[in-house]
Structure 1
Amino acid sequence: MSASAYSLSAAIPSEAFAVTQGEPVIGGLHGASRHFFCRYCMSWMFTRSEGLDWFVNLRATMLDDPSWFTPFIETWTSEKLPWASTPAVHSYEALPAMEEYEKLITEFAGSFGGVGNAGG
């Protein structure tokens, strides 16, 4: 969706997320996961996934100040470029198993102040 080797995301609690300017449009597939884009430039802004209503998957580069953001987990490393690396604490060839998420969220909240983020 971005023609990049990376997809940097921040998992933001839904109740803490708001679009403060403009009205995003749904683009891409219109299935269970809804990808929202800027109406003007069509940049991918965030995703809301059915069944995961408690968080919004935000493109961290869409933040006014992304300087605070450091990846905590990286996913889909089975597809990464051989020279690519991140400072992520956890690394997964695909996605973490569902039973791992609670532990990851708890660990992140204790280490990084409570707003989850993931990069891959």
Structure 2
Amino acid sequence: MTKTGGCLCGAVRYEVSGDPAMQLVCHCSHCQKQAGSAFSTIAGVPERAVTVTLGAPVTFIDHGESGQPVERQFCGTCGSPLFSKVMAAPGMVFIKTGTLDDSSWFKPSAHIWTKSKQSWVDLGDVPAFKTNPG
């Protein structure tokens, strides 16, 4: 199944082929800052499954709570966060699900980096990991 998405202003558009390998909620402090929220909802897909069809995201090299590099890609015009590439999962791209045209299929299978979660966030019955699972 092909999924489409893009940034708020429409300068960057993308397509994703296939189904995600993982659907997560990340509570790390860096995702909180990037999202401007308590967490980031992400779908992990193989890098080859993502095609940018319009524009080009800008990349900021961050170092996550793990200390490993994280490529955070966003629209250079409106600032919408689009993708993350983390060294802990080589060959994967994590799509910020809020940028998908239809994210109704998203159902998180796990919460990660819960050691940094906001105290008021209820994790429900979804499995949770203090850092990366593994």
**What's the TM-score bracket when you normalise by the shorter of the two chains?**
0.5 to 0.7
- For residue 89 of structure 2, the aligned residue among 45, 52, 77 is 52
- Report which stretch shifted further, 85-94 or 16-25: 85-94
Q: Which runs of 5+ in 2 are unaligned?
A: 1-33
- Report which stretch shifted further, 38-47 or 86-95: 86-95
Supply the RMSD in Å over aligned alpha carbons: 2.3
Aligned partners of 2:125 and 2:101: how far apart in 1? 22
Alignment-derived partner of residue 43 in structure 1: 80
Q: Which structure shows the higher strand fraction? A: 2
- TM-score, normalised on structure 1? 0.68
- For residue 5 of structure 1, the aligned residue among 38, 51, 76 is 38
- SS at structure 1 position matched to 2:73: strand
Is 1:61 matched with 2:61?
no
Alignment-derived partner of residue 15 in structure 1: 48
Q: Which AA in structure 1 matches 2:45?
A: I
Aligned partners of 1:56 and 1:33: how far apart in 2? 11
Aligned partners of 2:91 and 2:124: how far apart in 1? 26
Alignment-derived partner of residue 78 in structure 1: 115
- TM-score, normalised on structure 2? 0.62
1:10 CA displacement: 0.8
Aligned partners of 2:61 and 2:78: how far apart in 1? 14
The total of aligned residue pairs comes to 97
Superimposed CA distance per residue, residues 95-117 of structure 1 (whole angstroms, 9 cap, x where no aligned partner): 212xxxxxxxxxxxxxxxxxxxx
Cα distance change of structure 1 residues 88 and 38 upon mapping to structure 2, 3 Å threshold: farther
Aligned partners of 2:129 and 2:117: how far apart in 1? 11
Confirm or deny: 8 A CA contact 2:61 2:70 kept in the other structure.
Answer: no
Aligned partners of 1:3 and 1:20: how far apart in 2? 26
Confirm or deny: 8 A CA contact 2:60 2:73 kept in the other structure.
Answer: yes
Cα distance change of structure 1 residues 34 and 67 upon mapping to structure 2, 3 Å threshold: same
Aligned partners of 2:106 and 2:59: how far apart in 1? 25
Q: Which AA in structure 1 matches 2:133?
A: P
Is 1:96 matched with 2:133?
yes
Q: Which AA in structure 2 matches 1:42?
A: G
